[in-house]
Amino acid sequence: MATGTAAQAAPGIRVEVWQDPNCGCCGGWVRHMRGAGFEVVAHDTAELDAVKRANGVPEALWSCHTALVEGYVVEGHVPVGALARLLAERPDIRGISLPGMPLGSPGMNGPKTEPFIIYTLPRDPAAEPAVYAVE
């Protein structure tokens, strides 16, 4: 499902992801990113809460894995297109999040039942997240 933009953005770009070693959907997201050409390094950890907090992800926007990509935090099952847009636009934000584990999102089985709402992770912890993309 890689778009032309994603394919252009991915070569040589490293994605480091922290995931629960017992979570199969995290592995599905990793495969999705690798399929788009990203170089993915996965770190298994039982301390995901600490990883999320250290990277400024508000609890309301948590998902099952947290990634770092070229200085940005990418939380959850964010599709390649949204990540490619982030890397192309380089906004002044901490990162983006697709909270929860929505059906049909990259790595999650089942049909897509609703639009994916991807939020910004503002640099200022007091700022409110905004909608970054709807896919």
Residue-wise pLDDT tens digits, 32-53: 999 999 999 999 999 999 999 9
Between strands 14-19 and 39-44, the pairing is parallel
Strand partners, 68: 16, 73
Helix ranges (H only) for 10-127 are 24-35, 48-54, 80-89
Q: What radius of gyration do the chain's Cα atoms show? A: 13
**Which residues of the chain fall below pLDDT 50?**
1-8
Q: What is the pLDDT of residue 9?
A: 52
pTM of the prediction? 0.91
